[in-house]
Each structure stands twice: as C-alpha cells, then as structure tokens.
Amino acid sequence: MAILVTGSAGFIGANFVLDWLAQNSEAVISLDKLTYAGNAENLESLAGDTRHTFVKGDIGDSGLIAELLEIHQPRAVINFAAESHVDRSILGPEDFIQTNIVGTFRMLEAVRAYHRKLSAEAAEAFRFLHVSTDEVYGSLSPAEPAFTERHQYEPNSPYSASKAASDHLVRAYHHTYGLPVLTTNCSNNYGPYHFPEKLIPLVIHNALAGKPLPIYGDGQQVRDWLYVKDHCSAIRRVLEGGALGETYNVGGWNEKANIDVVHTLCDILDEEQPRDDGHSYRQQITFVKDRPGHDRRYAIDASKLERELGWKPAETFESGIRKTVRWYLSNQHWVDNITSGAYRDWVSKQYQ
C-alpha cells in the first residue's frame, strides 16, 4: 500500500510527509516540481528511508502522473501542489493559472483514468484529497460569522481565484464522473519549514538579521492561525473518515490581527534571543503600503470537522508560535540555504 503526495517538498506537504512516515509504515511517493518554495532539504531526514520515493516533476505533466499511478498503484492521492502566495499572484498571475487550475485538471484526468482501471474493491477504497484554502471564501467584516463549508465563494486575488477554480473542478469530477474526492479548506498555517516570504517566517528572519519588519497598511488584517502539524493531523483524519464529495474546513480557532502576531513574535524573540543592544525587536516594525485588494479578515468555522470526525487542534496559538520560533532559532542553516539572492531581490521589491 502507498499514497501519492504532490507538492511534497513545500511547507505543508513536507510536514505532512514527515508526520505520515513518523506514525505509520505505509509508503509515500513524493512529487514536487522544486520551484522556489519547494525545497528538497525539507525531506532530507528521509534519505535512505525505503518507505519514501521522491520524484521531481510537475502535476501538469499528464504522462508522468499516469506513469506514477501505474507503477506505484497508490490507494490515495493527496494534492498539496499549488502556487500559494498572494503577493506573487498579483505580480505574475499566469503561474497560478497554470499550476492551480490546469495542473489540477490534468491531475484529475490522470486519476480518473487510473481509477477506472482499478478492481471494484480498490476503486471503492481509493481517495483523491484536494488541499485548498479559506481565501476562496473572500473577506469578512469584523462582525460576520466565520466561514462555514456552505459559504459562498468570493475570491479576491488571482491566487484565491485559481484555488476556487481548482475546488470547483474537484467537485465536478465527483458529481460528473463519480471520482471519490475530498476537499479541505484551511486557514493560515505556520510552523517549521515555512518559506520566509510569508508573515511569520519573514518577521523571524528579518528580526534576527536586524532588518525592518514590514507590516502592510495598518496591520489590522485578521487571520485564523493553524499550526501546520495540526493541519496534517486533520488531513489524515479526513482521508480516513471523510464522506465522499464533502468539504471540510480546517482552522485553529485563533483569530489574530497581523500586528498582534508580529508583537507576539517580537516578545518571544526578546526572551529567546535578545538583541545585543537590549532593545525590543518591536523597534524594527515598519508599516508599508498595503497590497492591492488585501482581504480584511478570514475566520474558519471548523465545527463540522469536529462534529463529524472528532478532530480539533492540539496547539493553541501561544504554544504553537513558541514552538515555531524555537524551530527557526535552531535551524538557521535551513533559512540561510534558501534565502538566495533571488529571494532577497524579491523581498526588496515587494516591501520597498
């Protein structure tokens, strides 16, 4: 038995593969294109592990996907592969269309052909789990209730629009072709191996480097924060017991304004690795022009997942964020290896 995991060298995908193999013996076939955010070093600890097979490749390569399915005969496909950064989608949306929409379509076609050939027993047990985002739902006002699975899709960026399209394709392949699919829509993840273009790792990296901590607009954009290992456990639970064709929201029940997250990070760093001059890292906070179409608030109602499948997060924001800071302090070599010249140029352009 084996599972195929796409986007396996990315932030969430790598954490999922590492957690999966730490908890059971079922083999994992890893597929990742290794773009800027796909880092083979994330899976370095699995070198020599015969349960893990890594393949460099694109989910848009129909021939490769068909070959992997034929050779390895996985009982499930978990699709993490995606272009996922809003800022990059604003500067260059075409990559998001190609990966998130066209790539998902080609994956679904290959999986559909594979599923048709399975025995009745294997076909019944097979699952295609599509990992998506809360950003497909749009933005909430401060007083509105959190997103449920019934919330209308209202994407506001090229990234979220491309993910919304992929969600619709997955749903359609279930209702039209009977493909056994599951979809999860998660809130903002944080934790180990997070590429430092996103808020939390960017702040940690810049703080330690003595650089400004750039905050968009007034910093009052609210997000629901989910520790990545909690997200991994939720995906395992949905894969195990989710109802076919259903969507499950995955959230951390931790709504925080961006500026409050940054203040928390600064305060933890003040304790864990104080500045040489004795001042707080808060002094490095700098407010920059807000990005176009910046959603004001996301909030996930994950009660369906708890009610139907008994899942709830193990970490509070306070416990998870401290674990995250300590991981980055203990793994500075990992950060140094991925913050290349191209990355530094991009950050300079984005937050100038």
- 134 in active site: yes
Nearest to 55 by CA among 27, 70, 34: 34
Tell me which of 32, 83, 137, 159 is the catalytic residue. 159
- 109 in active site: no
Distances (CA, A) of 4 to 96, 135, 191, 304: 22, 25, 23, 26
Give CA–CA dist 168/165, Å, rounded. 5
Beta bridge partners, 285, equal: 213
Give CA–CA dist 323/227, Å, rounded. 10
Strands 222-227 and 255-257: antiparallel
CB atoms within 10 A of CB 49: 12
Tell me which of 58, 83, 135, 230 is the catalytic residue. 135
Tell me which of 32, 134, 197, 301 is the catalytic residue. 134
- 260 in active site: no
Q: Helix, strand, coil shares of the chain as percentages rounded to 5?
A: 50, 15, 35
Beta bridge partners, 147, equal: 300
Tokens of 235: 């995906």
Helix 158-177 to helix 104-117 angle (10° resolution) is 20
Nearest to 38 by CA among 102, 82, 89: 82
Burial class of 254 by CB neighbour count within 10 A (0 to 12, 13 to 18, 19+): buried
Query: Which residues participate in catalysis according to the annotation?
Result: 134-135, 159
